[in-house]
Amino acid sequence: MAKLYSAMLSRGRTVRETEVKLRVKDVNGLIRKLKRLGCHCSGRVLERNTLFDTPDSDFRRRGRLLRVRTEAPAPSRLVRGGSRRTLMTSKSPALASAGSRYKEKLERELVVRSAARWPAALRSLGFRPGFSYEKYRTTFRLPGLHLDLDETPVGVFLELEGSPRAIDRAARSLGFSRRDYIRGTYWDLYAAECRRRGRVPRNMLFAA
């Protein structure tokens, strides 16, 4: 199964992903701050994400991820809609310094065609769909830094991805400190919210 996993994504370029999340309380205020920083906005989309794994959850146990993500334009009152596309992403552990305040992974990503056939294709290879989650993502960019504003069923978060220095500089400019950094995944945040509410974690989806 690991060989199939590697072969499927061998065409993509592996990059080291360094990021943190920040919990956002004032979305409109944050968007104004981002614009004042000179961030370029490429639009807002509705993401639908599904994680795939082996029947024995080998990827999860090894800290790996295989995800299919579809994006559809979702304009808001403040920003235009983004592009429509489907992405396949793999992530694996990256060696991080002890006590690092950043989440670090090795990532490989591909834009794929024929989005509707990919779940069946993955099942035919032995993968099974697992956790699904939705979010509205508004994408901003600064030189050397990705800033993604994510509206999720369990709150709003800003992801900063880039070098540690660029992350720290942008966070300070937006009124955050290192104490605000979150290293967890959206599964971690969703599971924590379910525990707080006394619910069984299932999928993180918006109410119909």
Positions in the chain whose pLDDT score sits under 70: 1-12, 97-98
Distances (CA, A) of 208 to 48, 77, 114: 14, 21, 26
**CATH number for 124:** 2.40.320.10
Determine contact, residues 184/21, Cβ cutoff 8 Å: yes
- pLDDT given for residue 117 in this prediction: 84
Count CB neighbours of 13 within 10 A.
8
Within a domain: 208: no
Within a domain: 157: yes
In tens, the pLDDT along 86-95 reads 999 999 999 8
Domain containing 52 equals 2-197
Among all chains, which residue has been given the structure tokens 């199939």?
A: 4
The number of domains in the chain is 1
In tens, the pLDDT along 98-116 reads 678 999 999 999 998 877 7
pTM for the full model?
0.91
- pLDDT given for residue 5 in this prediction: 54
